[in-house]
Amino acid sequence: MILSPRARLAVVSMHTSPTASLGQNANGGMNVYIREICAAFAACGIATDVFTRRVGADDPEVERMASLSRVVYLPAGHDHSDKYELLHHVGEFADEALAFIREHQLNYDLVYSHYWLSGAVAELLTEKLALPWVHTAHTLALVKNRQLAPGAKPEPAERIQIERRIAAEADLLVASTEDEGGDLALMYGADRDRIQVVAPGIDRSTFQPMAASEARRKIGFAGQRLLLFVGRLERLKGVETILRALALAADRRHQDVRLLVLGGDSRDAQQSEKERLKVVAADLGISDRVDFLGSVAHHELPYFYAAAEACLMPSYSESFGLVGLEAQACGCPVVASNVSGLASVVREGVTGYLVDGHDPAEWADRILSLLDDPENARQMGRRGVLLAQRYPWGLTADRIWTAVAPLLESAQQNAVHPN
């Protein structure tokens, strides 16, 4: 039994809680990342307090997430659904965090922030607490703006300015892929010796293969052939591409195939993306073969992955393809955009297909190749399971901690021998 933690980290996740339901508002891969990395840290004796916003009257002040991990809900910016409006509450959030820390006489070894808004908070906290600062961006504004989906709103200049400050000031930048590390260096001017590339992981006890027939029965689509999309509904995710691809595929053959769309509207959208996509499906004449199922609990996703002939990921940009990795762990081939975050987890022609661009005809061809050759699809699924086994969360946590250790040693030495 661990009697006291080896270290204690202040984790900042201002705009979304790691315990929030996935596929709603701004909730997605980052929530999974923070929750799982904190659980993995707890397993090796590292304590974490995750500071996030109180968004509802029923939110507790403190919620236990793992044996050595808590979520601390702070009353700052709780009335805003638009995350960009939260920028005006960064100082308030930092003050609330400092008040909680002082009231409970907490001592931390470092601050670990996630996403640019949290980085803005961490900038203030580390100045007051004199602690090392680690940051994971999850997405980068300049990368998103470089690959904007049609009709998508560019990321604002204020975000880019803050990300540049984070890249210059954080003691360690944890990137999910080599490409993201390169973007931090080339587009944001970060020192390469402060960038550590560490791939995220998956919960291998949750995401594993099962019989497709049983999975389809479990989710209520027994005896049907299914395609799957998982993610928040926003222009960035490119769902319109696969709607048009499905219409083309159905015109040629496989009119029995259904598309399941899991996830709700992003709170950042100017209009309901779900309603827009429903109109597109109606115009294409495929409304009867597309089911918008809303958000699904994370532990239920394995049934959907195992039930599907393919998981489709037509994103215009992704920092890392957690959904693709989870799908492959369940034996589901992935058809994904050939962008860096997805190309890092999908092996072309081995575990799925990578598609250049968003031409619906190209997507229809890849989808049909899987539907026409079930044995090849099954082999891709089996190879995907083997690939996904290389990404346990424990390994991710170990690699991050190895990169963090020199910062802690330096901080301890400076505390003992101040200038």
Mean pLDDT in residue range 304-315: 97
Q: What is the mean pLDDT of the chain?
A: 91
| pLDDT confidence bin for 274, thresholds 50/70/90 | very high
55 has a pLDDT exceeding 50: yes
* Residue 227: predicted pLDDT: 97
416 has a pLDDT exceeding 70: no
| pLDDT confidence bin for 4, thresholds 50/70/90 | confident
* Residue 251: predicted pLDDT: 72
Mean pLDDT in residue range 148-173: 95
Mean pLDDT in residue range 119-130: 96
* Residue 257: predicted pLDDT: 93
Mean pLDDT in residue range 388-402: 95
162 has a pLDDT exceeding 90: yes
Mean pLDDT in residue range 11-34: 77
Q: Hey, which residues does 52 pair with through a beta bridge?
A: 73
* Residue 417: predicted pLDDT: 52
> Which part of the chain has CATH 3.40.50.2000?
7-201+392-416, 212-388
Task: Specify the range with the lowest mean pLDDT, choosing from 131-140, 327-336, 405-414.
Answer: 405-414
pLDDT in tens, 249-273: 987 777 789 999 999 887 655 678 9
* Residue 24: predicted pLDDT: 47
* Residue 23: predicted pLDDT: 42
CATH code at 212-388: 3.40.50.2000
11 exposure class (CB count in 10 Å sphere: 0-12, 13-18, 19+): buried
Looking at CATH, the fold of the domain delimited by 7-201+392-416 is given as Rossmann fold (3.40.50)
239 has a pLDDT exceeding 70: yes
Task: Specify the range with the lowest mean pLDDT, choosing from 112-116, 311-315, 345-349, 415-419.
Answer: 415-419
296 has a pLDDT exceeding 50: yes
* Residue 14: predicted pLDDT: 93
Mean pLDDT in residue range 370-397: 95
pLDDT in tens, 75-116: 887 666 678 888 999 999 999 999 999 999 999 999 999 999
* Residue 151: predicted pLDDT: 86
Q: What is the pTM of this model?
A: 0.92
Mean pLDDT in residue range 342-359: 96
pLDDT in tens, 165-186: 999 999 999 999 999 999 999 9
